[in-house]
Structure 1
């Protein structure tokens, strides 16, 4: 029998598009324990198939939430850097205008005279 990690890698490809609606739909499909009596004959085969199906759904939900969180973090980081890039560029331009290159430029003749 395969383990949950095998199911996750088999049923949750790395670069598959995931939407919040899909994750919410899968969460509603996960069976909640019922407290009513059920006299349907089951058996190990039915139980194992239900467990496998639940494991696949839970792996898909975990994978989707992980991907959405990663996308959110990347977007937030990119937005922060984009906002700060303009301010940094203007500060650099202001600093370069205030600095006068003529005051620190040394000519060849002044370097040779010092030796």
Structure 2
């Protein structure tokens, strides 16, 4: 049973592959130059790699700062634990609490 299922899976995979590849063989091949002809793609690639290597992600910088400390677990918890919200009495919003103090 496993062998038949495997064969059916292979057959389905081959059919999917043929369905994806066949349109390329039926399309017209031309000898026209591509849009990348005479374009310095190597310089663009080097610039992209350089920009990536200089990329700074603030969240990762904060993690690295925490990992350098002796109490890194506590510092990471402070970074990523959401703050506890104080619901207050009555659950009112926009400073409309029931503390008894009236705002001017």
Give the TM-score of the pair, scaled to structure 2. 0.30
Q: Point out the structure with the larger helix share.
A: 1
